[in-house]
Structure 1
Amino acid sequence: MNEAPLEVLFCILIILIFCSAFFSSSETAMMSLNRYRLKHMVGKQHRGAKRAQQLLERPDRLIGLILIGNNLVNIFATSLATIIAMRLYGDAGVAIGGLLLTLVILLFAEVTPKTLAALYPERIAFPATLILKPLLKFFYPLVWFVNVLSNGMLKMIGAHAEGADSQQLSREELRTIVNEASPHITSRHQGMLTNILDLENATTEDIMVPRNEVFGLDLDDDDITLIEKIRSSEFTRLPLYQGDINNIKGIAHLRHASLFFDKQGRFDRQALIEASSKPYFVLENTPLHTQLFNFQQQKKRLGIVIDEYGAVQGLVSLDDILEEIVGEFTSNIADNVEEIFPQKDGSYIIDGTINIRDINKSLNWELPTDGPKTLNGLLLEYLETFPDADAGLRIQDYGFEIMEISDNIIQAVRARALPAIEEN
């Protein structure tokens, strides 16, 4: 080697530096690959993705191969650079060659190729697998030996290469991925995906129609009243009860309204009862994703929400759960009633019976939802007494002024966001 021409030595040195750059960029590119995109590409039968997935099944072997190759070429490059420098500068060439080679390797074999690989991992990793796979087979005995020693040291500190993280995602991590994918997913679809993830955090009690707002048929009413309710209803399914909503007799489907009348066109109360289906009861604390599955399994579209004592709390429908995912899509008259009215001074006049979750969604507020479900219930909980009109209070960073009370219910409230209170 000492007698070889300098030109040959320089050519060999350049080749070694290129090899070092290859191993450095391959390591960064392979480790930077998006595992979920990689699985998708494997499903599409992408050859480079298949090779990369095979190598990544045992990352300890892949890393062992790359580091063996990288260290070999770097050590040989160092020795060669020392020989060249000593022939050019004598004994001082040892220091000069070391400094120059360090700069060259950092620039051309480490920082630049690794940065490029981090920016474009697929462009670097997939072609690199064409070389890495054969190299792994060729150096397998050496790689195996190094891995045995390395894995033994890992076991001494309680780590296991075979028990590596499977990269399963939690719900919050999946939400982050959905939010970060905004350039590739429309905002509407992005919202639907996050709403599906939120179903687990809400219960039927959160979205139900409360019992005081339930529109149904009371069998204690006279025939004229029942007929008028049937004709004027904007709902297709109505609870059938007697005297009190807790005494549910069934669910009347207005699609069968013709069965409620005899051949002479007279209203038949008994026919109404017989044509009604059995009520389907739902516990108030059932998570929405579970209730959606239950509706599907039971072939139901309307549930009677009850508490732990069996008392009726309200109604929940399949449409209500679907609207939690896709947003409002019904055309019922009741769905078009406004409950939040913006004012010129920046405040809002809000119906006291509105669901707190609806306020948070509409105004992007963060009112507490782990207690009462309606604004009326939240205000009464904080006041701890039944207030007079014009009473005011602050809940977190929001101010409320009670404007109207009737039937023991807060009917109207003026609300506004307040400046946050600074903690000393």
Structure 2
Amino acid sequence: MDDISTGTLFIVLGVLLFISAYFSGSETGMMSVNPYRLKHLTNENHKGAIRVSELLKRPDRLIGLILIGNNLVNIAASAIATIIGMRLYGDVGIAIATVALTMVVLVFAEVTPKTIAALHPERIAFPSSALLKVLLKIFYPLVWLVNFITNGILSIMGISPEKHQGNSLSAEELRTVVHEAGALIPEQHQSMLVGVLDLENATVEDIMVPRNEIVGIDINDEWKDIERQLANMQYSRILLYRDSIDEAVGFVHPRELMRLLIKEQLTKATLMRAVSEIYFIPEGTPLNTQLMKFQRTKERIGLVVDEYGDIQGLVTLADILEEVVGEFTTDVAEDSNEDILPQPDGSYLIDGSINLRDLNREMQLELPTDGPKTLNGLILEYLEEIPQGKLSIRLSGYPLEVVDVQDNMIKTVRLLPHLKKS
């Protein structure tokens, strides 16, 4: 080193710091690349993405290579800085060189390149991967030795780099990604994607038409009464039963009714022959599972039954699809506002039988849905008794007033949303 001029040493030091900055930036860039975008670009045969994907398959080797290169360069830079310091300032120069080199390395070889790489990972990772791939072949024996030792330590801790499964997202994490997508995904599409994810968290009881609201025709009624009901039916499928819903016979499609009417053969007997077999759904079935079952069995409607075989409600394919795409407007038999009536004072009168999921969605509330499925059930569970008259409560932070109780059920509830939730 005595034969090398100080100016030359400064040039060598500058080159070493540049190489150190390259390794530091490469490390951050390679580890900051969006794994899902990387996979997309790899599928598009992007050369840089393919190189990065190959290197990231074994992150232990990649990190080992980068750290070996970075440490060798930094140690060499430290030695040269010490020589320069001694030449310029004697023994005091060692301390000066140490402090000065530390600051220079931190600013120019660590913080700055890593910040740039974190902000623009692809611009750093893709081009640098070409050189890293070559360096990995050159230094492979040293990298293998370092990895052999470190992997041995990791195996003691129960960690295996070779069994690394890569990145995956849980449903909750994917939901967060959708919400954070912002303008990249239209709001309506975000709602649909979240709706698909929410299917696994809801069961058929959450969306079914409860037993007491199922509309059907008692086949034991007088034929004139049956004809009058058929003329006023506004549903896509008509349930036939004998005396009670528990004695359900089957569903009749309006198409079959039209066929019988055209042939002038509509009687009780022909109506009974036109019914289709009932499709039963066990209670507790997740909506995503039931959606797949509807698709597999080519069914569109089913009756929900409990463990004893008693009918609890009715679910249609449209009900499940509405959880994803929102309410349809083609069903004239339903009025989305009839259960929630705004009042002049800013409060709302709500039907006690309303489904809690529908109420939360309509009013932007956060009432719990992991227990009772209706507002009536939720209030009764909270009170642990049937109220005898008007009663004011605060449930999940929302001020509610029981307005009307009939037949052991809370018929009407007043919600006071203008009062702050506590």
Shorter-chain TM-score: which interval? over 0.9
Alignment of 1:257-276 (within 5 A): 257-261=257-261, 263=263, 265=264, 267-276=266-275
1:307 aligns with 306
Check whether the contact 1:223–1:267 (CA below 8 A) recurs between aligned residues.
no
Task: Quote the offset at 1:186 in angstroms.
Answer: 1.3
Alignment of 1:61-210 (within 5 A): 61-164=61-164, 166-210=166-210
After superposition, what is the alpha-carbon deviation per residue over 1:272-320, rounded to whole angstroms, capped at 9, x for unaligned? Answer: 1111110111112111111101101110000011111111111100000
Task: Quote the offset at 1:190 in angstroms.
Answer: 1.1
User: Aligned equivalents of 1:341 and 1:272: distance in 2?
Assistant: 39
Taking a change above 3 Å as real, the CA distance of residues 384 and 103 of structure 1, as seen in their structure-2 partners, is closer
User: Aligned equivalents of 2:408 and 2:95: distance in 1?
Assistant: 90
User: Aligned equivalents of 2:130 and 2:384: distance in 1?
Assistant: 72
1:399 aligns with 399
Check whether the contact 2:26–2:125 (CA below 8 A) recurs between aligned residues.
yes
1:58 aligns with 2:58: yes
After superposition, what is the alpha-carbon deviation per residue over 1:110-132, rounded to whole angstroms, capped at 9, x for unaligned? Answer: 01001111111111000100110
Taking a change above 3 Å as real, the CA distance of residues 262 and 19 of structure 1, as seen in their structure-2 partners, is closer
1:290 aligns with 289
User: Aligned equivalents of 1:337 and 1:228: distance in 2?
Assistant: 26
Task: Quote the offset at 1:337 in angstroms.
Answer: 4.1
SS at match of 1:162: helix
After superposition, what is the alpha-carbon deviation per residue over 1:340-373, rounded to whole angstroms, capped at 9, x for unaligned? Answer: 1233433211011110111111222222222221
Taking a change above 3 Å as real, the CA distance of residues 229 and 70 of structure 1, as seen in their structure-2 partners, is same
2:277 aligns with 278
Check whether the contact 1:261–1:271 (CA below 8 A) recurs between aligned residues.
no
Write the letter of the residue equivalent to 1:307. D
User: Aligned equivalents of 1:384 and 1:80: distance in 2?
Assistant: 81
Task: Quote the offset at 1:215 in angstroms.
Answer: 1.7
User: Aligned equivalents of 2:94 and 2:385: distance in 1?
Assistant: 88
Check whether the contact 1:86–1:93 (CA below 8 A) recurs between aligned residues.
yes
SS at match of 1:335: coil
Task: Quote the offset at 1:165 in angstroms.
Answer: 5.3
Taking a change above 3 Å as real, the CA distance of residues 413 and 26 of structure 1, as seen in their structure-2 partners, is same
Taking a change above 3 Å as real, the CA distance of residues 30 and 262 of structure 1, as seen in their structure-2 partners, is closer
User: Aligned equivalents of 2:410 and 2:147: distance in 1?
Assistant: 71
Task: Quote the offset at 1:377 in angstroms.
Answer: 2.1
User: Aligned equivalents of 2:399 and 2:192: distance in 1?
Assistant: 31
Check whether the contact 1:259–1:272 (CA below 8 A) recurs between aligned residues.
no
2:355 aligns with 355
SS at match of 1:377: helix
Say what the alpha-carbon RMSD is for the aligned residues. 1.8
User: Aligned equivalents of 2:376 and 2:152: distance in 1?
Assistant: 64
Taking a change above 3 Å as real, the CA distance of residues 282 and 330 of structure 1, as seen in their structure-2 partners, is farther
Check whether the contact 2:24–2:114 (CA below 8 A) recurs between aligned residues.
yes
After superposition, what is the alpha-carbon deviation per residue over 1:77-131, rounded to whole angstroms, capped at 9, x for unaligned? Answer: 1111222222222232222222211111111100100111111111100010011
User: Aligned equivalents of 1:120 and 1:345: distance in 2?
Assistant: 54
User: Aligned equivalents of 1:195 and 1:121: distance in 2?
Assistant: 32
Write the letter of the residue equivalent to 1:259. R
Q: Which moved more, 1:385-394 or 1:173-182?
A: 385-394
Taking a change above 3 Å as real, the CA distance of residues 152 and 252 of structure 1, as seen in their structure-2 partners, is same
Check whether the contact 1:2–1:83 (CA below 8 A) recurs between aligned residues.
no
User: Aligned equivalents of 2:385 and 2:221: distance in 1?
Assistant: 35
- Please report the TM-score for the alignment, with normalisation by the length of structure 1: 0.94
Task: Quote the offset at 1:379 in angstroms.
Answer: 2.3
User: Aligned equivalents of 1:259 and 1:405: distance in 2?
Assistant: 45
User: Aligned equivalents of 1:90 and 1:62: distance in 2?
Assistant: 40
Q: Which moved more, 1:400-409 or 1:23-32?
A: 400-409
Check whether the contact 1:217–1:241 (CA below 8 A) recurs between aligned residues.
yes
Check whether the contact 2:349–2:415 (CA below 8 A) recurs between aligned residues.
yes
- Please report the TM-score for the alignment, with normalisation by the length of structure 2: 0.94
SS at match of 2:135: helix
Check whether the contact 1:64–1:143 (CA below 8 A) recurs between aligned residues.
yes
SS at match of 1:118: helix
Taking a change above 3 Å as real, the CA distance of residues 257 and 62 of structure 1, as seen in their structure-2 partners, is same
Check whether the contact 1:340–1:351 (CA below 8 A) recurs between aligned residues.
yes
User: Aligned equivalents of 2:252 and 2:21: distance in 1?
Assistant: 75
SS at match of 1:372: coil
Check whether the contact 2:386–2:409 (CA below 8 A) recurs between aligned residues.
no
Q: Which moved more, 1:124-133 or 1:396-405?
A: 396-405
Task: Quote the offset at 1:39 in angstroms.
Answer: 1.1
SS at match of 2:312: strand
Identity fraction in percent: 53
2:32 aligns with 32
Taking a change above 3 Å as real, the CA distance of residues 262 and 103 of structure 1, as seen in their structure-2 partners, is closer
User: Aligned equivalents of 2:106 and 2:183: distance in 1?
Assistant: 35
1:324 aligns with 323
SS at match of 1:88: helix
After superposition, what is the alpha-carbon deviation per residue over 1:12-53, rounded to whole angstroms, capped at 9, x for unaligned? Answer: 111111100000000011111121221111111111111001
Number of corresponding residues? 420
Check whether the contact 2:403–2:414 (CA below 8 A) recurs between aligned residues.
yes
